[in-house]
Structure formats: structure tokens, C-alpha cells
Amino acid sequence: MKYVRIIETVAQEVITTDPATIFHPGVAAMFTEYEDSVDVGVGYTLEDGTWSAPPEPEVETEVETDPV
């Protein structure tokens, strides 16, 4: 099993230890249990029961200039 803490549809934490064994009950209650087969990671978004990975970050390329 994995446990996901979700804020406003975004996964904030993903752990494999039962949160009730490592967190205060108020914090442990913020986690939702999922099967290991569910593909979810930090930053994923939950919409209509389906997790979506965040978009890949854009990579800026440097433009080389000839020294004058």
C-alpha cells in the first residue's frame, strides 16, 4: 500500500509506511490509502479519480555568442 497526502487535488507526500504509525493522528488523517499499482508521485494531480503527472519543466537553452 501507499499513502498520499493531497492538498487541493495535488499530491504533497507519498509514503509506504502507514501514517498512523509515524504521525500525530491529526496529520495521519490527511493521508489517503492507495494500492501500490496506482501511479502517483509528489506533484501529481487527481482529477475524476485519475492521477496525472505534472508537466515536464521547460529547459532553457543558452545561446552562445561570439566574443567581440
Rounded to two decimals, the pTM is 0.78
DSSP strands (E only) in the chain: 2-7, 10-15, 31-34, 45-47, 50-52
H or E segment and range at residue 27: helix 25-28
Q: Could you give the number of structural domains in the chain?
A: 1
Residue 61 lies in a domain: no
Instruction: Inform me whether the pLDDT recorded for 67 exceeds 80.
Output: no
Residue 65 lies in a domain: no
Dist CA 30 CA 42 (whole Å): 15
Which range of residues forms the domain containing residue 13? 2-49
Residue 64 lies in a domain: no
β-bridge mates for residue 10, sequence order: 7, 45
Dihedral sign computed on CA atoms, order 10, 14, 17, 19: negative
Residue 63 lies in a domain: no
Q: What is the pLDDT of residues 3-34, one digit of tens each?
A: 999 999 999 999 999 999 999 999 999 999 99
